[in-house]
Amino acid sequence: MQRVAGQMLQIFDLENRAKIKSCTLPDVKYWRWVSNRLIGLVTTKSVYHWSLHNDTLPVKIFDRHAELGEASQIISYQVSPDVKWCLLVGISAGESYNIVHGCMQLYSAEKMASQILQGHAGTFACIPINGRHDSAMVLCFESEKPCSAPQLYVMEIGRDKNAPGGVFRAEP
């Protein structure tokens, strides 16, 4: 029987000097706290969430898109406040020496679908919209395409385009 070694991950309560939980997960390349009780873990192939709420192991959320393959260095992982949206950001060497290619994978947990965006940075925010009673969940991201200046987009996500009040979008 062949044994595959993984990376031992442990969470400690430093105030009480106690280990809270641990697990083994192979090939973790990036991790960050995405909320007070949730850690995002990015491996060479997939993205996981590890909750402190119970004794569960990390749960696979989605697979990394081929555009964010092993040649990409993951530089950011964001999760919307309602945990319905995820944004994985990576960079890789461009065609010429002085170019850094940025790629983002926007993932909808409800639809279990991804969309690829070009750029180097993005985040989520919940903002009030004039004329509407509900707030908008927006994705703010920088898009950089070859031979053009970087542009900032702020667009509502997860809302039906035919909903009353429409979909908020602020583009350059």
The predicted-structure confidence for 15-53, as pLDDT tens digits, reads as follows 999 988 988 898 999 999 999 999 999 999 999 999 988
The dihedral built from the CA positions of residue 120, 64, 68 and 103, taken in this order, carries a sign that is negative
The dihedrals phi and psi of 137, each to the nearest 5 degrees, come to -85, 115
Average pLDDT of the segment spanning 116-125: 94
Alpha carbon distance 103, 118 (integer Å): 5
The structure tokens listed for 109 are 């947990």
pTM of the model: 0.87
Q: Is the pLDDT of residue 157 over 90?
A: yes
Q: Is the pLDDT of residue 100 over 70?
A: yes
Alpha carbon distance 154, 171 (integer Å): 6
Alpha carbon distance 102, 123 (integer Å): 15
3-state secondary structure of 171: coil
Q: Is the pLDDT of residue 155 over 80?
A: yes
Q: What is the pLDDT of residue 171?
A: 64
Q: What is the pLDDT of residue 71?
A: 86
3-state secondary structure of 67: helix
More confident residue, 1 or 165: 165
Q: What is the pLDDT of residue 1?
A: 39
**pLDDT tens for each residue of 53-95:** 888 899 999 999 999 988 899 999 999 999 999 999 999 987 7
**pLDDT tens for each residue of 126-147:** 999 888 888 899 999 998 776 7
